[in-house]
Amino acid sequence: MTPLRPLEGITVVSVEQAVAAPFATRQLADLGARVIKVERPGDGDFARGYDESIQGQSSYFVWLNRSKESLTCDLKSPEGREVVDQLLGGADVFVQNLAPGAADRLGLDAATLQRRHPRLIVCSVTGFGSTGPWSDQKAYDLLVQCEAGLVSLTGTPEVSAKAGISVADIAAGMYAFSGILTALLQRATTGVAPALEVSLFEALAEWMGSPMYYTAGLGRQPARAGIEHATIAPYGPYSTQEGTVVLVAVQNDREWRAFCRTVLAAAEVADDPRFVRNSDRVAHRGELNELISARFGHLSQEEARRLLAEADIAHARINQVQGLLDHEVLAGRDRWRHVQTPGGPVPALLPPFSISGVEPRMDPVPAVGEHTDAILAALGHGEARIAELRRTGAV
């Protein structure tokens, strides 16, 4: 007998778009929850149109929306709101990441919903919080990266750069996911269904903890260092004899001595006053890099990696994205599956956490409104009523 997934029997209704909320609810679906995604009639979630890279479909949407049911519904119509309210009467969790003020205008704010549905956990994903001086500001990932100071830390000394993935959205999605799991536990143990809110800005602010404390303590922020670590050295890329690059990560003084002895073949370098402590090595990073680069320039990649392994020094290749797709760890650990989409099957990674004896749910990515009729029928709407709702554009 196949064991139940942890969230089987839990129903989630989500008025979601873009990345943050869909990432949270997809992870709930991975664990077995039924996730009903409420989309606009017609085009649906605007993330469906971000690109056409994966069999004519958006890479973002395919990544974030497997295992969900799609219901199209016009929330600005009384009939559409009535349909959603019917759904919420039998739901456990409601998630929304609408534009500032929209949930309040639609009666989908936590206070209103919990008066009507006391056992409903309500999760709101906002940009800068539902209260405070920026509560009415729109927030997109790159805007939040800029406001949180992340962009000032990434890039080279000459040019700043954004992170290459939607880190603010992903951070908020992860906190929404873990917050909802916590709220489900609280409801199970106390009978009280809490409301929770996650803001993109505050989620990324939490992830900025190390540079915040560094700046508060020293009165200056870590410098941009490209691929190198801003406050640890040697921790960066070095070119080998054939021009390939190995990233070396020395974490402490013990490893530094092993690195000097085995990789540099110069144990005395460890006691050079410029390099004895990590703070010294960071202060003299240019001289340190010249010394290491000279040594690596006489080593092949294979030889450099062999010596690093012998010294027990962490190191890595600098892969392109194709290198991730082809990575031997993902293949060797059987992390790939196939998920159906409206455009055909696509490869998909299993969730990064594994629960003993549980196979994550990896069901299809829905077409816009694919489940509308079935959901309405389950709510008790007959064919004539469904046809009328379609005729008026409510669904």
List residues with catalytic annotation. Answer: 229
- Determine contact, residues 343/56, Cβ cutoff 8 Å: yes
Q: With 0-12 CB in 10 A as exposed, 13-18 as middle and 19+ as buried, what is 158?
A: exposed
Task: With CA atoms as reference, report the closest residue to 341 among 323, 367, 308.
Answer: 367
Query: Parallel, antiparallel, or unpaired for β 11-15 and 34-39?
Result: parallel
Give the chain's length: 395
Instruction: Evaluate whether 347 touches 336 at the Cβ level (below 8 Å).
Output: yes
The whole-angstrom separation of Cα 107 and Cα 112 is 6
Tokens 């919080």 belong to 129
Cα 282 to Cα 48, 157, 196: the distances in Å are: 45, 14, 42
Determine the Cα–Cα distance for residues 369 and 73; give it in Å rounded to an integer.
8
Strands 195-199 and 235-239: unpaired
Positive or negative, the Cα torsion across 265, 271, 273, 274? positive
Sort strands 346-349 and 336-339 into parallel, antiparallel or unpaired: antiparallel
- Compute how many other C-beta atoms are within 10 angstroms of the C-beta atom of residue 166: 22
Burial class (CB in 10 A: 0-12, 13-18, 19+), 340: middle
Task: For 332, list phi and psi in degrees, rounded to 5.
Answer: -65, -25
Whether the ω angle into residue 133 lies within 30 degrees of 0, i.e. cis, is no
What type of residue is 18?
A
List Cβ neighbours of 92 (8 Å cut-off, separation of 6 or more): 10, 11, 12, 119, 120, 121, 184
